[in-house]
Amino acid sequence: MYDFYFGTKEEIDNDPKKFLLTIKRMLPRWCNSIPDSEYLALYDVISEMSLPDKPVFVETGSGASTIVLCYFAIKTDGEVFTWDINGCKLSYLRSVLNDTLMRHYVEKNINKHWKYITFNSNSDFVGINILKELGKNVSVCFLDSEHTLNTLMKELSSICEVLNDTAIVAIDDGNYSYIAHNTAYINMVRKKIGLPPITDSPDNIGRNFWKEVNNYLIDNFKEVEYIKDSYKDNYQTDIFWSYYKSDRDTMANLSMEKTDDLEHRFDAWKVSIRK
C-alpha cells in the first residue's frame, strides 16, 4: 500500500525529515494523531542528542511517532520498545514501515529493531518494568498513552529506573490535567453509544502534565534541561490543524482537544544522572 517511490537513497539521506513527513502525511487519521510540528520536533530532539551505541527508544501509545523512533533505531542499529493495547494498529504500522523505511534500509530487519508489546505499559509482568529484566538502558522515551496523570507518572517512574546517564524524556498532550480518568475520552465513547456525559469531579483535575513531569524530573535527577523544542516555534502555522479541522472541532466540542496552553502539547527534557 505504501510502496511508493520516495527518491534515491542519496536524496532521502540528504533530507530525511522530508522523507519521514511524506510517510506521515499518507497515514489515515486513526493512527496520525500528533501534528506535523510535533512529529518533526521529536525528530529534532533526537537528532540533536549524542546517542550511545545501539540506543534503546521507548514509546507508550503508537502512531506517527513510531515512524520517527524506528527511523533512528534502524539508522543507529538500536531498538524501539512500544507499548499499545491496540494490536491492529501495531500490525498496520508494521506494514507501513515495511513499505517505507525498510525499502530504504533493505539490508535491515524491522523485527530486530522494533519490539511491540500489545499490553498495558504499567503491567507488573509485561510492562515497562521488563526492560530491567532485559538489561536495557533507555536513551529516549515518548509517553503518549491514556492521558491521565496516574498512568503517566507510573510510566515515568518505571522509565526513570532504566534511563541512561543522559537521556531524553518527551511527552504528548502535556497540557492535559486529568488525574484518574480521561473524562473527555470517556464522554466521546458514551456519546457514540447514546449515553449522557459524565460530570467531571474537582478531584480529577490537577495541574498540567508538563508541570508535574518537570517537577518529578527535577526531584529525581541531578541535571534537568527543559528543551526549547521546534514544536513551539511551528505549531501555530501547522497545516495539520486545518487539514483535520472538522475532526478537531468535534474533539474540541467534547473537550478532547485542549486548545488552552497548546504550546505545551509537546514537551521534552534532557536529564542526566539520577539522584
Domains annotated on the chain, with CATH: 9-274 (3.40.50.150)
Does the structure show a pLDDT above 70 at 253?
Answer: no
* Count of CB atoms situated within 10 Å of the CB of 230: 18
| Predicted TM-score of the model (pTM) | 0.94
What is the per-residue pLDDT across 193-234, written as a single tens digit (0 to 9) for each? 999 999 999 999 999 999 999 999 999 999 999 999 999 999
> In 3D, which of 35, 44, 102, 91 has the Cα closest to residue 68?
44
**Sequence-ordered list of residues with C-beta below 8 angstroms from that of 65, at least 6 positions apart, any chain:** 34, 39, 42, 59, 142, 144, 172
What is the per-residue pLDDT across 259-271, written as a single tens digit (0 to 9) for each? 668 899 999 999 9
Per-residue model confidence (pLDDT) at position 259: 60
Does the structure show a pLDDT above 90 at 1?
Answer: no
